[in-house]
Amino acid sequence: MKNASQVISTLTEMGINSTEELKKAMYRQRIKMGAMIGPMDNISRQIEDITELAKQTKHLIDLTPRYKEYKALSERKQAKYREKNRDFLEDYHYTLKYVQKHNGDNSRFLSLDTLKAKRDKLLSEKSAKNMEYTAEKKKFDQMEKYRAQIENYQSRRHVAERSMGRKKGELE
């Protein structure tokens, strides 16, 4: 009974006065938590995209000196170089196109430091949203626990009332 009074007290503090209100509050809480997941997933995708862009930018930086050497060759030497180093040139052009495409509307490439700063900002934003979600999830779990306790109490009470009642055909 002590647990029941504590549950009732806590639910009353939350503004919940019946099991129906508890079910409605749990439904609203679940919707609120669901609405929080979309933005968190969006931030996660942005983090993945920036991480990949930083990786490709670093790769492009590593390839650029060798590509500049190639461009400094005469046309005839470039033709021979192309035959021998086709994979390198394809890799360079693929990486360059990727970085250009994912660099946004900037005419200049974003530096690795800028990408890291963007990624760090998104990570802190995701952490804050995750903390909010965790608090809401804890609140929902608490309501779920209370709902189960109430149902258990009602079930035991119902069984006790039935056992105290008369059996069919029993005289007064």
User: What does the pLDDT look like over 21-34, one tens digit per residue?
Assistant: 889 999 999 999 99
So what's the pLDDT on residue 1? 47
So what's the pLDDT on residue 83? 93
Cβ atoms of 56 and 95 within 8 Å: the answer is yes
Cβ atoms of 8 and 80 within 8 Å: the answer is no
So what's the pLDDT on residue 149? 86
* Interatomic CA distance for residues 149 and 143, integer angstroms: 10
- pLDDT tens-digit profile, the chain (172 residues): 467 677 778 888 888 888 888 899 999 999 999 999 999 999 999 999 999 999 999 999 999 999 999 999 999 999 999 999 999 999 999 999 999 998 876 667 889 999 999 999 999 999 999 999 999 999 999 999 988 888 888 787 777 766 666 554 444 4
So what's the pLDDT on residue 6? 79
The length of the chain in residues reads: 172
Tokens of 31: 């919707």
